[in-house]
Chain A
């Protein structure tokens, strides 16, 4: 079966750096997405990786290793507004998105 694994919850300190990991086992691979979802709000797109390596976008970076079935989202200079759930999703060979359960990130002052 298809599976996306990510930690359920993480805690970090304001101003610090946090890395949220995602491992996947899917039938085929057509890209990996990271979304941010604040409580009670819509998920919003953060990043897309289809080739190995690091994609940097401001304070957020996303890394992909297709051979290892592994990605991470790196958040730098954490702010209180970064408290949210972070969803990892992989597009499989049928172009369907397979979702992880999300990682709830708690930022403390």
Chain B
């Protein structure tokens, strides 16, 4: 248990569906992140929120839409995804962006399959 909880753990969705991934952290952190992890590839940073403000959007397609209602919760809304979007989506949190030693705590991820 890392203090970061993601739901659902597994998700299969059609290309026309709309779904949301949820992340919750109980660590009192101010920064939250969405990463995409594909097999044999580096973790890809998708979005960063620092004190509820989005500070990074790494050229992510608009079919992925983040939402951060407060420092403890982060959502990733999905719509009209493509099969190549199938991957493990990891949420992480850290104390705050902008410090060197800022250990990231990860959730266990949502394994997404787009059919």
Q: Report whether chain A binds chain B.
A: yes
Residues of A within 8 A of B (CB): 4, 8, 30-31, 33, 40-45, 48, 50, 87, 89, 91, 95-102
Tell me if B's interface is mostly helix, strand, loop or mixed.
loop
Within 8 A of A (CB), among B1-15: 2, 4
* Interface magnitude class on chain B: 20 to 34
Flag whether B69 is at the interface (Cβ < 8 A). no
User: Which one of A43, A89, A91 lies within 8 Å of B100 (CB-CB)?
Assistant: A91
How many Å from the CB of B87 to the closest CB on chain A? 14
Taking CB atoms, residues of chain A closer than 8 Å to B106 are 42-44
Q: Please give me the residue from chain B that is nearest to A50 by CB atom.
A: B100
Taking CB atoms, residues of chain B closer than 8 Å to A100 are 42
B28-44: CB near A (< 8 Å → 1, else 0) gives 00000000000011110
Q: Please give me the residue from chain A that is nearest to B94 by CB atom.
A: A97
Taking CB atoms, residues of chain B closer than 8 Å to A89 are 43
How many Å from the CB of A3 to the closest CB on chain B? 9
How many Å from the CB of A65 to the closest CB on chain B? 17
User: Which one of B42, B48, B97, B107 lies within 8 Å of A101 (CB-CB)?
Assistant: B42
How many Å from the CB of A80 to the closest CB on chain B? 21
User: Which one of A8, A43, A48 lies within 8 Å of B40 (CB-CB)?
Assistant: A8
Taking CB atoms, residues of chain B closer than 8 Å to A50 are 100-101
B100 and A42 form a contact (CB under 8 A) = no
Within 8 A of A (CB), among B71-88: none
B97 and A95 form a contact (CB under 8 A) = yes
A40 to B90 CA separation, bound complex (whole angstroms): 11
Q: Please give me the residue from chain B that is nearest to A96 by CB atom.
A: B45
A42 and B90 form a contact (CB under 8 A) = yes
User: Which one of A87, A96, A101 lies within 8 Å of B56 (CB-CB)?
Assistant: A96
B104 and A42 form a contact (CB under 8 A) = no
How many Å from the CB of A62 to the closest CB on chain B? 13
Q: Please give me the residue from chain A that is nearest to B33 by CB atom.
A: A97
Q: Please give me the residue from chain B that is nearest to A44 by CB atom.
A: B2
A102 to B37 CA separation, bound complex (whole angstroms): 11
A41 and B100 form a contact (CB under 8 A) = no
